[in-house]
Structure 1
Amino acid sequence: MTQNDLGEEKSGPQKPHRLSDIIRSIDTREDMTIGQLADSLGDRAFGALMFIFAVPNALPMPPGTSAILGLPLVILTWQVLVGRHSLWLPKLVRDRRISREMLERFVSRVTPIMARLERILKPRLGFLVTSDVAERVLGLVAFPLALILFLPIPFGNIPPAAAIACLALGLAERDGLAVAVGYALALASTAILAAVSSALYVGVVAFFRALFGM
């Protein structure tokens, strides 16, 4: 990805629209396919879509949200990792529909959050986000988080979703501080999921030992 992929217009230094503008522009009057949503975002697709697909999993949303949004998030973060300059989505994902109700709930809940965040988001600490290497490192962190988010782990969606949302904000707004916060949340997510997995394993082992008198 080049700087154009992160929001600069090729024709000049015109300031890109903020993510809140993009979110407000989503048409919530009818169902929309993921392909239609991606096409509407243009050169903001990577950061904006990562945020749009991640943040609902960190908020109270209808059941099945992660099943709809998880796979495209895995594909997106993989492409950031390998350094693709243009977004590609398989037809199976592009044709997947997002209901009007889900879009409406997302826009109504996320827009106030974005309004507060945009008071502090700004281009800074560019070494964490503006180079090809920095973007690939971001993808290296976000991709396994997206895989975790896609898996049906009870209560396992919120920490990785929050981390990916921060990384996406940093990518879209070229804010290295947001990326740094995303990295910290990624470490916290890994620690939390490791602790939960360990506790589940101990519980399952104890259950079968009690069941079979071992």
Structure 2
Amino acid sequence: MQLSEISDTLNELASESESVSVGHVVEKLGNRGYAPFLIVPAAIEISPIGGLPGVPTFLASIILVVASQMLIGRKHLWLPELLRKRSLTSDKVTGALSKLKPIISKLDSWFSSERLARLTQTPVTNIAAFTCMLLALTVPPLEFIPFASTAPMAAIALIGIALLVHDGWLMLAALSISMLSFSVVGLLL
């Protein structure tokens, strides 16, 4: 699977109605594992939408729920109704995706499922899930510093991409960047 497939699905959802709810995204992407649900909220936070008050914490809460289920080995993603009902306007979704489109195209061409795929399976996925949970927990206090939560969200996005494309080298890089992100968070707080 590639990132462009997720982007196309989100654009399709945005074209169908005036808003895109988390529940609709789960219904459309639910059969693709946990990776899209780490990537999408992190990518939205990295976009200009992440500068809106409350948005980073909301997105981090989605990641926290997803990563915790990934850690305990749930087969199917469950989100509470409170999160499933939350939505963004279709304009915001398509705007964020259009800004991310060049990056998505580059990332799709860079990553391969041929490299150390074993590092995208258990027990490394458990380490990745736990790391995503810790990174998501750093977001609420960082929200008071404009765009400071981009560092942990970028690390989460990279972990999600590594899981999506089964690229072990990327997983190693993402976990290393996570450690760097914890350092940045420590300095900012």
Give the Cα separation in 2 of the matches to 1:129 and 1:45. Answer: 13
Which secondary structure does the structure 2 equivalent of 1:32 belong to? strand
Tell me, in whole angstroms, the C-alpha distance in 1 between the residues paired with 2:176 and 2:82.
33
Offset at residue 45 of structure 1 (A): 4.1
**Which residue of the partner structure matches residue 191 of structure 1?**
183
Structural RMSD (CA)? 1.6
Provide Cα deviations, 1:8-42, integer angstroms capped at 9, x if missing partner. Answer: xxxxxxxxx42212211222232021011111013
Output one character per residue of 1:25-70: Cα deviation in whole Å (capped at 9) or x when no partner: 2222320210111110132141012100012222322513313322
For the Cα contact (< 8 Å) 2:138–2:185, is it kept in 1?
no
Distance 1:181 1:60 in 2: 25
2:39 to 40, 44, 51: 51
Q: Which residue of 2 aligns with 1:37?
A: 25
8 Å CA contact retained: 1:50, 1:165: yes
**TM-score between the two structures when normalised by the length of structure 2:** 0.88
Identify the residue that residue 201 of structure 1 maps to in structure 2: none
CA distance in 2, matches of 1:190, 1:143: 12
> Are the aligned partners of 2:38 and 2:63 in contact in 1 as well (CA < 8 Å)?
yes
Paired residue for 1:127, among 118, 126, 142? Answer: 118
1:109 aligned partner: 99
Shift of 1:153: 4.1
Kindly indicate whether the alpha-carbon contact (under 8 Å) linking 1:47 and 1:172 is maintained by their aligned counterparts in 2.
yes
What's 1:163 paired with?
Answer: 155
CA contact (8 A) 1:170 1:176 kept: yes
Q: What CA distance in whole angstroms lies between the structure 2 residues aligned with 1:52 and 1:101? A: 16
Contact 1:34 1:97 in 2 (8 A): yes
DSSP 3-state at the match of 1:118? helix
Moved segments of 4+, more than 3 Å: none
Partners of 1:38 and 1:45 within 8 A in 2: no
Q: What is the 5 A alignment of 1:43-122?
A: 43-61=31-49, 62-64=51-53, 65-122=55-112
Contact 2:48–2:96 (CA under 8 A) maintained in structure 1: no
Aligned mates of 1:137, 1:83 — CA distance in 2: 12
Between the aligned residues of both structures, percent identity stands at 23
* Separation (CA, whole Å) in 2 of partners of 1:95 and 1:72: 12
Structure 1 residue 19 corresponds to structure 2 residue 3: yes
How far has the Cα of 1:125 moved from its partner? 1.1
Q: Is the 8 A contact 1:77 1:146 kept in 2?
A: no
In the alignment, the residues of structure 1 paired with residue 5 and residue 87 of structure 2 have an alpha-carbon distance, to the nearest angstrom, of: 22
Q: Is there any run of 5+ residues in structure 2 with no aligned partner, and where?
A: none
Larger Rg: 1
2:155 and 2:174 in contact (8 A); partners too: yes
Residue segments in structure 1 that go unaligned for 5+ positions in a row: 1-16, 198-214
Larger helix proportion of the pair: 2
The residue aligned with 2:127 is: 137
Distance of 1:68 and 1:147 partners within structure 2: 11
